[in-house]
Structure 1
Amino acid sequence: MDPDPSPAHFAGDAASNDEPTVILIFGWLGAKMPTLRKYSDAYRKLYPSSAQIVIQADSLRYWKLGSARDRAVLPAVQTLKEMGLFSATLGSPPPRILFHVMSNGGVMSLCDMATVLRKLKIQPAPGSKCAIVFDSTPTPTTYTITIRAFTAGMRGWLRKLLTAGALTVVLFLTFVIRTILRRPRPFTRELTGLNDPALLPWTSKATPRLYLYSTADAIVPASAVEEHAAHARMAGFPVEMVNFGRSAHVSHARDYPEKYWDAVGAFWAEATKA
């Protein structure tokens, strides 16, 4: 199935008993569908009968209002509804859902979806299983991290310099406006929400999570990921971690494909043990 130009792309058939019913892939800010399709293809090899939903996050998402963010994830939410994941279906097994969240942009999309789902007051089927993979995330947003995130994929020092200059002005104005309006720092809500057992209709303190990260990541420090994982453990979540050492931001699957997908496969197998 060719990728849809909209933020969400769906593909798949009915899953077998040991595979996810659906895999939701949340891309990083500005990630193009051809790039995200590589993750989709890898998942297709692991779980050929699982449905997939790919959610893109455009580069302006960071500054969008909540209503605009909600609209961006509505196609994915509608697909979940059409799959029958919002309630128990007579004769159907409980759903098994795998979330794959990449960078802070992916976290933002995940939390936007959580906001929309919370408004719907969904009662999922008893016995639903869910697991979350965090790739190169999360970290609190700082000036340095934001500049690096928006310029990492750019070529040419002049383009990076001009972009950094423009972003500096925008970030300063955003800071002033938030201070006047007494709004919380960007990404505060998302960071807090990730360790809420009721983040999604299918999550609880029993929902396992896998952190895939790297010491060499220049955008999301390994220490930030490890700190968030430690807080998750203290909150009662089952936590697994894999440090890829030298790979760059959201490049772990590219640089260490076997290690990366072996970790994901083993994690899902453990997460869905009866």
Structure 2
Amino acid sequence: MAPSSSLKPKATFIALNETVMVSLPPLSSSAGDSSIHPSVILFFGSMDADTKLLRRHLHTLLSLYPTATMYFIHSFRGYWFSRTRTIEDALQPVVDGLRNAMRADFRGVYTHVHSNGGMFQFMSLRNLLAKSDFTGIPTWRALPSVLVMDSVPGDSGVHQAITSAALPVPNPVKRAIFIPTAVVAWWLIWLFNAMGGNPPLFEASREALNAHELLPHVTTGSQTVRLYMYSPRDRITLPEDVESHAEEARRRGHPVHMEKFERSWHITHAREYPDRYWEACTRAWSQAAKL
């Protein structure tokens, strides 16, 4: 059962920059056996979402794992046209925080990716970790690692552009204007990305989510449990795209769990099915802790 709202801590987030916010655990906690809690929670928000929009997710996670340090990573539409160096500079505090957490009593990482906007920021963090220097940092093998994917991953940039632009607009005339604009914008993004010598964004992001070493230098040797939260009613991230990714994850030997919500829409699963949603998350972490 999901924690009641009265039990949720009033999380205080400190802005490290425009992209990253952090919530530190209290100096003392009556949370019981903290050894079963992750040391770090990474929450990658959906495009242009902030902590106010996702406060229920954040507070619930912190009530479940109060001894964890949580990093909330924003995803902005400006991501598409930002230089790689600019994106990685903004994510550097997360890398530094993971390094510090690994110095002693490291208990693993819980990663929660919200929609495709969160997926792109996750890919950027993973790329930054891969080229970061972890010399002198202890190597922790076979520690718990969980990846929760909420309404992600999609598999078509054009489809995402059309549905993201059209669905929120009830007026058919405005919708007819927005759709071609969104398609043109997407192809500009695709061209901008290709000119930088980068692989297609969705292809690269889906691969990052299925990599054996989910977080380079951090989850080395760990077997990450993957949990997919999706719905046949989601018209932005299509269910067949999620299911094909999960099938590939199984082929690669990853432990996979799937929660298919019949009534909810894109990124509304926790709101419509709170108990089922959070029970699935805690089960995934419990399994990871036993691997």
Aligned-pair CA distance for 1:2: 4.3
Give the equivalent residue in structure 1 for 2:46: 28
Aligned-pair CA distance for 1:238: 0.6
Query: TM-score, normalized by length of structure 1?
Result: 0.87
Aligned-pair CA distance for 1:106: 1.0
Aligned-pair CA distance for 1:174: 4.3
* Structure 1 residue runs without a partner (length 5+): none
Q: 1:221-240: per-residue Cα shift (whole Å, max 9, x none)?
A: 11110100000000110111
Q: 1:166-188: per-residue Cα shift (whole Å, max 9, x none)?
A: 22222344455667887643322
Q: Which of the numbers 126, 131, 134 marks the counterpart of 2:141?
A: 126
1:167-246 equivalence runs, <5 A: 167-175=182-190, 184-200=199-215, 201-203=217-219, 204=221, 206-246=223-263
Aligned to 1:131, the other structure's residue is in SS state strand
Give the equivalent residue in structure 2 for 1:140: 155
Give the equivalent residue in structure 1 for 2:7: none
Asked if the contact 1:141/1:186 (under 8 Å) is kept, the reply is no
Asked if the contact 1:138/1:220 (under 8 Å) is kept, the reply is yes
Q: Which of the numbers 83, 86, 91 marks the counterpart of 1:68?
A: 86
Aligned-pair CA distance for 1:110: 0.9
How many angstroms apart in 1 are the aligned matches of 2:129 and 2:258? Answer: 28
Does 1:18 pair with 2:30?
A: no
How many angstroms apart in 2 are the aligned matches of 1:93 and 1:183? Answer: 37
Cα gap change, 1:164/1:67 in structure 2, threshold over 3 Å: closer, same or farther? farther
Aligned-pair CA distance for 1:9: 1.1
Aligned-pair CA distance for 1:157: 5.0
RMSD of aligned Cα (Å): 2.5
Cα gap change, 1:161/1:76 in structure 2, threshold over 3 Å: closer, same or farther? farther
Q: 1:134-184: per-residue Cα shift (whole Å, max 9, x none)?
A: 111112123122222355455755554444332222234445566788764
Letter in 1 for 2:96: Q
Letter in 1 for 2:47: L
Cα gap change, 1:66/1:153 in structure 2, threshold over 3 Å: closer, same or farther? farther
How many angstroms apart in 1 are the aligned matches of 2:243 and 2:202? Answer: 17
Asked if the contact 1:213/1:243 (under 8 Å) is kept, the reply is yes
Letter in 2 for 1:38: R
How many angstroms apart in 2 are the aligned matches of 1:96 and 1:179? Answer: 35
Letter in 1 for 2:283: A
Give the equivalent residue in structure 2 for 1:47: 65
How many angstroms apart in 2 are the aligned matches of 1:113 and 1:157? Answer: 38
Q: Which of the numbers 111, 116, 126 marks the counterpart of 2:128?
A: 116
Aligned-pair CA distance for 1:117: 0.8
- Aligned residue pairs, count: 268
Q: 1:196-239: per-residue Cα shift (whole Å, max 9, x none)?
A: 21241233572111111111111011111010000000011011
How many angstroms apart in 2 are the aligned matches of 1:115 and 1:180? Answer: 19
Aligned-pair CA distance for 1:12: 2.5
Cα gap change, 1:155/1:77 in structure 2, threshold over 3 Å: closer, same or farther? farther
How many angstroms apart in 2 are the aligned matches of 1:202 and 1:54? Answer: 18
Aligned to 2:212, the other structure's residue is in SS state coil
Query: TM-score, normalized by length of structure 2?
Result: 0.82
How many angstroms apart in 2 are the aligned matches of 1:21 and 1:180? Answer: 39
